[in-house]
Structure 1
Amino acid sequence: MIITVQDFTGVYAEQPFMQELRAAAETSKDVHWLDCTKIVGTDCYCDDDAIKEINNLIDNAQSHDNSAHVPAIHFFDNGNYHYMSKIWTDRVQEPFTLIVFDHHPDMQPPRFGGILSCGGWVKEVIDNNKFIQNAIIIGVKDELVETVREEQSQSGEASILDKVTFVTESDILKEIPASAGMTSSDSAIAIPKDYHFSSFISRLSSSLYISIDKDALSPSYAATNWDQGSLTLDALKDCITALVTGRKILGVDICGERAHDFEGNEQHTVQEADTLNNSLNRELVEFLKKI
């Protein structure tokens, strides 16, 4: 797999694994490091000028190899930049299902003249990408799904939900056998091995595009810049393994780093957050290269 890292805030500087990738990018055609720190108009919202600059960086990197035709892993900083999945999926030229792991549905209607945002990029993809067949959003907070349904109904766009399947935290918990001893109060949800997403597996296209915001994971596994869910890392891996079996992976996006100005909280010090995220990023790459 080709690996592209887009550094927007400098947060990767304290992660040894990411710095290994930065060093590898100097000599390897399989790793790209794109410095996006000087592009204005990118934090949470991405304006047209910023989109053009970002696409130019990507085009320049891909012009030196065949990465446009190879499954790729894309890292792009914290959750404020999750809209990058919209920009990357704009490059897909075949029918696909979008698989999103996120504690938030990212389907807010546009608020500023249709500008691309981290909170509404999934809706933008569904509305504007002619190749998307449907979207599966996994690990989302239950009450946020209800908010989306209300917003779409009020806006007269409820039909968009026909293309979306939400797998909420409570949906996953329901699939866990009582014998497993799990309750709604558990801090992290592990998906059992026999969980095969039978309710929607038939809706998947033969090609998948996967977008991961690490805030779907419990704070035991990641330190992010948004409120977090309760999935375990094994649950995330099991989901991906079940979904991709027999299907083509077009790309995998990964965001959800800590905020660049994070000073620590009740769960993690800055050093603990960087160590946790460093290990997670390394493990995700090793896992994805094997599937």
Structure 2
Amino acid sequence: MNMYVSLLNTDATLLWQNKLLKAGDALVDLSQVRSLRFMSPRKVLEEVNLNLSQVPVGLSFLGSGDYHHLTLLFLKKIPLPFTLIVLDWHLDLNTAPPGFVSCGSWLREALNLSQVEEVYVLGVQEEMLPGVSGHLRSAGEMVKFKIYPARTFPLAIRVVPQEVEGRMVYISLDKDVLAPPFAWTTWDQGELHPGPIFYLLRSLKNKARVIGVDVCGEYSPTSVVLGPYELAKVQANEIFNIALLKLFTGSKRLKTSAKVV
């Protein structure tokens, strides 16, 4: 699989991951875009969409979980019907103020995309489940929607690849679904280990047509110079990212550096 690898420099979190930078096809600098973190005006997202016009859907690293709403820009690039599979500790079905999209409301927006035929959310915390039906009713057009909370993830890794076999699939992964120390984020984190996650991803790769993957949930260092504690967190995240890259790109050769676009 020759999947295009893009890195979005939203908050400099990926700039600490040198191996990942060398493996990318493009580094898109969004660091100067204002009002992008947490919640963005739709006009700002339209501006970012122009920056991403030459970046195809592939394997995209978005930065911290504060930018999960950038997933929407990649979903909108897909012209054909597909299944969206989300791995996240949080259920991003919140309501944003009019004219805005947030990292906690992007999934509500995705439900209204005509290309999205069905949605699976995996690894979410139990506390997010009450009120889901109400969220879905108010989100707009209904799509097939299934949730597997963290405790049922062993069931999900057996069932979901079978249900989406042969279909076009897009995967959005927030690393806050992982338990420390397997990944570190700036949000509260979940219960999953990398082994079951990669078992699921390999099964999806083998059974479905994975057309795109995005990853967020990077750790944001609090200082310019990293101490041993922060450096260990960044390195743990990079190990996970490189494993994802190897899974979806095979023996992709390392480059001197990603092309800046």
TM range (shorter): 0.7 to 0.9
Task: Please give the alpha-carbon distance, in whole angstroms, between the structure 2 residues aligned to 1:245 and 1:282.
Answer: 19
The letter for the 1-side match of 2:49 is N
Q: What letter matches 2:111 in structure 1? A: I
Give me the whole-angstrom Cα distance separating, in 2, the residues matched to 1:114 and 1:221: 36
Deviates further, 12-21 or 71-80: 12-21
Matching residue within 155, 159, 162 for 1:197: 159
User: Offset at 1:254?
Assistant: 0.7
1:240 and 1:88 map into 2 onto residues whose CA distance is 19
> What are the residue-to-residue correspondences of 1:87-236 with 2, within 5 Å?
87-110=73-96, 112-127=97-112, 129-152=113-136, 155=138, 160=142, 163-172=144-153, 175=155, 195-197=157-159, 201-202=162-163, 206-236=167-197
Question: Which residue identity lines up with residue 89 of structure 2 in the other structure?
Answer: H
Cα offset, 1:245, TM superposition: 2.7
- Aligned-pair CA distance for 1:19: 3.4
Could you tell me which residue of structure 2 aligns to residue 40 of structure 1?
34
Q: What residue is the counterpart of 1:282 in the other structure?
A: 242
Tell me the alpha carbon deviations over residues 113-163 of structure 1, each in whole angstroms, 9 at most, x when there is no partner: 141111011110112x1111010011000111224335446x5x5973x52
- 1:248 Cα deviation (Å)? 1.2
1:9 to 8, 11, 20: 11
Match of 1:74 in 2: 60
What secondary structure is seen at the aligned counterpart in 1 of 2:180? coil
1:269 aligned partner, one-letter code:
Y
Aligned-pair distance for 1:109? 2.1
- Local SS of the residue matching 1:76: strand
Distance 1:105 1:280, change over 3 A: same
- Picking from 259, 275, 279, the partner of 2:220 is 259
Larger Rg: 1
Matches of 2:46 and 2:140 in 1, distance apart?
A: 31
Asked if structure 2 preserves the Cα contact closer than 8 Å seen for 1:217 and 1:229, the reply is: yes
Residue by residue over 1:175-204, the C-alpha shift from the partner in whole angstroms, topping out at 9 and shown as x without a partner, is 4xxxxxxxxxxxxxxx8xxx5116x84366
8 Å Cα contact 1:108-1:148 kept in structure 2: no
Q: How many percent of aligned residue pairs carry the same amino acid?
A: 22
How far apart, CA to CA, are the structure 2 residues paired with 1:136 and 1:204? 14
Q: 1:203 to 1:4 in 2, by over 3 A?
A: closer
Which stretch of structure 1 is more off in the superposition, 203-212 or 74-83?
Answer: 203-212
Tell me if the contact between 1:95 and 1:205 (Cα under 8 Å) persists in the aligned partners: no
- Aligned with 1:82: secondary structure? helix
Contact 1:78 1:257 in 2 (8 A): yes
Aligned residue number for residue 259 of structure 2:
none
Per-residue CA distance 1:71-118 (angstroms, 9 max, x = gap): 6100010001011111110010001000101001111122x1141111
> Amino acid of the residue matched to residue 137 of structure 1?
V
Letter in 2 for 1:131: Q
For the residue of structure 2 that corresponds to 1:242, the secondary structure is helix
- Report what 1:187 is aligned to: none
Give the root-mean-square deviation of aligned CA atoms: 2.5
Q: Which segment is superposed worse, 240-249 or 207-216?
A: 240-249
**Does the CA-based 8 Å contact 1:208-1:244 persist in structure 2?**
no
Q: Are the structure 2 counterparts of residues 99 and 151 from structure 1 closer, same or farther at C-alpha, using a change threshold of 3 Å?
A: closer
Q: What is the match of residue 49 of structure 2?
A: 55
**Maintained 8 Å contact 2:82/2:169:** yes
Matched residue, 2:258:
none
Mapped to 2, the partners of 1:2 and 1:217 lie a distance apart of 25
**Aligned residue pairs, count:** 246
The offset of 1:50, in angstroms, is 1.7
TM-score, normalization: structure 1? Answer: 0.77
* Aligned mates of 1:78, 1:255 — CA distance in 2: 5
Match of 1:272 in 2: 232
Amino acid of the structure 2 residue aligned with 1:121 = W
Where relative contact order (Cα < 8 A, 6+ residues apart) is larger, the structure is 2
What are structure 2's unaligned runs of at least 5 residues? 252-261
